[in-house]
Every structure is written in structure tokens, then in C-alpha cells.
Amino acid sequence: MSISSERRNKVMTDIIPKLDFRPFIGGRFVNLPSDDVLPVTDPYTGDVVITIPHSGEREVNLAVMAARQAFDNGSWANLHPRERASHIVKLADLIDKNLETIALVETLDTGRPFKGALGWEVPNASEVFRYYAGWADKITGHTLPDIAGVNIENYQEPIGVCAAIMPWNFPFAALAWKIAPALAAGCTVVVKAAERAPLTTLLLATYVSQVGFPAGVVNIIAGNGNTTGSALAKNRDVDKISFTGSATTAQQVIRDSLDHLPGWSLELGGKSANVILKDANLQDAARAAIGAMFTMSGQDCGAGSRLLLERDIADEFLSILLPLVKARRLGDPMDDATEQGPLIDYTQFERVSEYVDEARRSGGNILVGGSGTKDGPNFYLPTLITDIPLNARIVREEVFGPVATVHLFEGLDEAIRIANNSSYALAAAIWTASANNAQEFRRKIRAGTVWLNCYGWFDTVSPWGGRGLSGQGKELGKEGLDGFLITKAVFRM
């Protein structure tokens, strides 16, 4: 049996049947009164692998009530910060102990290559929990100079009950990015797993129950966006919504919660420009562009989906890049040789196909790719499109698939103008041998993250997040913690 069949067999027969995917509310797994279920499909085969309980408004309200009580009774916020840290570290330990199990479930559920799940995503979650555990006893206030004999103190307090609404593209890491800082700050949380990939989010409840967090501190449910997600957004006991997903859904979440105006942090999409100047190291830039455009089959908010080439080197650069694109190994995500797995589902496949077909109809030149493959129902070829106007839909909107558009420019000013011509502002990169060019780009580009002669780097210590349709607020780093704290000003006579 091949290693990929062995892994799929193991997760399907040894792991999934033994896991508890029921909603976790108030410190225990609960049975739903209805038989409402959510089918979970394997993106590689397109088959339903399991059905799980679908939480509705009733479970949302129970989960928020449990989180509210746990916050208000101080069982978590008033715990000694080092005690909070110790719970969070225990959770990280359990993740480390179960790395392979979580990575297998993540691969089955999202179609992301196992190598990436085991090598990056799951360890990253554990690292993020440890990092924020370290912050728990470093949350301080400060004293301001007296004014007319009045003493002024500022306290940093946990914001309260936090709703975490999850995406499907890297759900396990995204989960840590949200709940680790929330827990370190002393908040309680209600997590809604993404309906298209809910399994590892729900799996975390097993480890949470093993750590022994006070009841109601962490609640995890799964459900559809327009029912369960919307009920969560509307619940007035939610003090903060930490959302990762598309800009359109974020706008709906804001509308649904306008009545009570909770805090929002919004990690949304991107349309990031990857700029190659003529003085760049073209070999390095081409290799990095492959990862920028096609990691996670392009279902990555930071994807470099607009490739900007200085006209003088465009032909040479493409002559290096295209063979690399064509050599990309698509296949079973359980296989270590696979570089690109399937899209999350057939709906996503149709969405990607539609964007590319529209670009083709409007005169776009498909340099490579442009169709599905025989690897499975949800596979799409890595695709590059050129000769497409800057106002075309495929250039303006996030496709969320292995598709990039190629644009030519002359000089740094034009590159920056094109790069900034987007409603999104998540990330951008430039490749150049000139420190001056790099610094000018860094200063003028509208983006939350800028990569100079590299692509895709981020780190737990450094904040991630964009502007405009890419969202607001930051995750990771100290700023990721600040989003779960609120300042209380005290004046003392």
C-alpha cells in the first residue's frame, strides 16, 4: 500500500471514528436535540467522509451564555495569569503530542498537502499557544503624570466574551491565532468552525477538555454561516468578534452586529502584488513566485495573485517561470511528493473556472493552465493569464485558486501605481538589487506586510493583517493580544 493510501486509511478507520465532533459547550460535549447534520467531504475524492452535528441558534445561545458566565464569574479572568499560562501551555503540549493525528485530519478535511500540515500548520498552532502563554503575566497598565493633584491610572482588561468565526483554508493555525491571545488576555471564547472544513477546530475541544479549563472558557460549535454564524454575530452577549473570511461575509457580520457594536477584528482576503524589477535575481524571484501564487492551491489570503514584471525582463522571467509552473506536482495531498492538492470543494472549482473562463472570453491570454485536471474532481491547474486589463474582474477580485494575472510595467513608479490599484491591502513583495528601490516600495505600498526579496514570510512575533477590503486589526505579535484587551482609565483624587 502506498504511503498516501496508508495515511488515508489510518485517518478514516483509526482516527475519525474515535473522535468526538459534538458541540463543546460549558466544558462538555453535548447532544443536539435535533438530527441536523453537516456533511464533511474529502476535497481529494469529493466523497462525504462523515456527518457531524450542526449547531443552530439554540446551541449558539447556549455557548455564548456559557462563555458569558465563565467570564462574569471570573473563573478565568481572575485566575493568576501564570495559571492561565499554564493551561495554555498544556494545550500546546497536547497539540505537540497529537501532531500527526491533527495533521492527518487537517489534510483529509482541507486537501492541504500533509507535508505542510505536519511541517508547518499544526506546529505553528502550538507555537502560537506557547507564545501567547508567555504574554499572560506581562499584561500591564500604566500610571500617567498627575494632573492638578489627580492621579491617573490606565488598566488593561480582557474585552470579555469573544466570538471566533473561522475560515476553512488553514483552520487549525487560524484557530490558534484567535483563541491563544484571547485566552492569554483573560477572555472567554465561542468558536464557530467553518462548515467547509470543521474537523480540526472541533478536535481542539478534546484537548481543551483534557487540559481542564474552567467550564465555559472555550466553547466550540460547527454550523453554516448564514444560520449559526449569523446567530453568533447577532448575540448581544458577544463583546468582540474575531472574524477570518471574505470581505462580503465580514460586511454581513458587521450589519448583523450593528445593534450592539461589539469590537471587530477582520482578517479578510487579498490581491497581493509580487513585483519583479529588472535588476532582480530572476531565478530566486521565479522560484518564490511559484510558492506565492500556488501554495494551498492559491487558497491563501496572502497569495501573490498579481505578478508584476518590468517589461525589459518579462520574456526572460517567464521563460524561467513557465517550466516551473508546468513541473508542479499535483496529486493526493496525503502523498509527500505532492506540491499542490485539490481545491476545497466543487463549488470552489466552479468559482475558479468561472473567473478564468470570463478572463479568457474578454481576451486574456492563458499562458499556462486554464482548466481542471484528471487528478480528482476538485483539481485546477496552476494558471497564469496575461493581456488582461487592470479593471477586469479577475484582477480586482480575489479568486482564491491557483490563478495569477501577469502585468507589465516600466519603472518603479508605475509598478507601485499598479500594485496600489486594489481595494485590498494585505501584503506585497518586491524583488530588486537596489536598496533604494526596496525602501521606496516599502514606504509607498499600501499593505500590512511587505516582503523585500522574499515572499510569504511571517512569524508569530510579528503582526499580520491588512487594510481596506483586507480587513482591520491584527493577529499575531503583541498587537494580536491588544485586540483582546481594553483600556480602563481611572482618575483618583
Q: Which residues are catalytic?
A: 267, 301
What letter represents residue 271's amino acid?
K
Applying CB under 6 A, the site for ligand NAD has a residue count of 31
- Of 22, 32, 3, 47, residue with least CA distance to 342: 47
Question: In DSSP terms, which residues pair with 365 in a beta bridge?
Answer: 386
| Phi, psi at 146, each rounded to 5° | -55, 145
Site string for ligand NAD, 398-427 (x = CB under 6 A): x-x-------------------------x-
In the bound state with ligand NAD, the residue whose beta carbon lies nearer, of 23 and 331, is 23
Cell of 70: 465563565
Binding part of the chain for ligand NAD, among 104-112, 248-256, 275-283, 404-412 by CB under 6 A, reads: 248-256
Which residues lie closer than 8 Å to 354 by C-beta, 6 or more apart?
Answer: none
Question: How far is C-alpha 114 from the geometric centre of its chain's CA atoms?
Answer: 17
Residue found by looking up cell 460549535 in the block: 221
Q: Tell me the residue nearest to ligand NAD as measured from the CB.
A: 225
Nearer to ligand NAD, 329 or 393 (CB): 393
CA–CA dist 240, 252 (Å, integer): 15
Using CB under 6 A, which of 158, 245, 372, 463 touches ligand NAD?
A: 245
Residue 252: Cβ within 10 Å count? 17
Cell numbers describing residue 194: 467553518
Interface segment toward ligand NAD; rule CB under 6 A; list 41-49, 80-88, 227-235, 431-439: 227-235
Contacting residue, 154, 226, 319, 347, with ligand NAD by CB under 6 A: 226
| Complex with ligand NAD: residue 2 or 251, whichever CB lies closer | 251
**At CA 252, angle to CA 192 and CA 299, rounded to 5?**
65
The stretch among 241-249, 353-361, 408-416, 451-459 that binds ligand NAD (CB under 6 A) is 241-249
Kindly state the smallest distance separating residue 247's Cβ from ligand NAD, in Å.
7
Residue with smaller CB distance to ligand NAD, 32 or 324 = 32
| Nearer to ligand NAD (CB atom), residue 268 or residue 325 | 268
38 binds ligand NAD (CB under 6 A): no
Under rule CB under 6 A, which residues in 143-172 are in contact with ligand NAD? 165-169
Q: Which parts of 170-189 interact with ligand NAD (CB under 6 A)? A: 174
**Residue 15 has what DSSP assignment?**
I
- Is the dihedral angle over the CA atoms 316, 317, 318, 319 positive or is it negative? positive
Residue 352 makes contact with ligand NAD by CB under 6 A? no
Does residue 106 bind ligand NAD (CB under 6 A)? no
Instruction: Scan residues 284-313 and list those touching ligand NAD (CB under 6 A).
Output: 301
Q: Is 220 in the site for ligand NAD (CB under 6 A)?
A: no
Using the contact rule CB under 6 A, the part of the chain among 18-26, 37-45, 204-212, 250-258 near ligand NAD is 250-258
- With binding defined as CB under 6 A, does residue 244 bind ligand NAD? yes
Q: Write out the three cell numbers for 303.
A: 497569495
Asked if residues 298 and 402 have their Cβ atoms less than 8 Å apart, the reply is yes
Per the document, the length of the chain is: 493
To which H or E segment does residue 384 belong?
strand 383-386
DSSP E strands in 113-258: the ranges are 142-147, 150-158, 161-165, 188-193, 218-222, 240-244
Site residues (CB under 6 A) for ligand NAD? 165-169, 174, 192, 194-195, 224-226, 229-230, 233, 244-246, 249, 252-253, 256, 267-270, 301, 398, 400, 426, 471
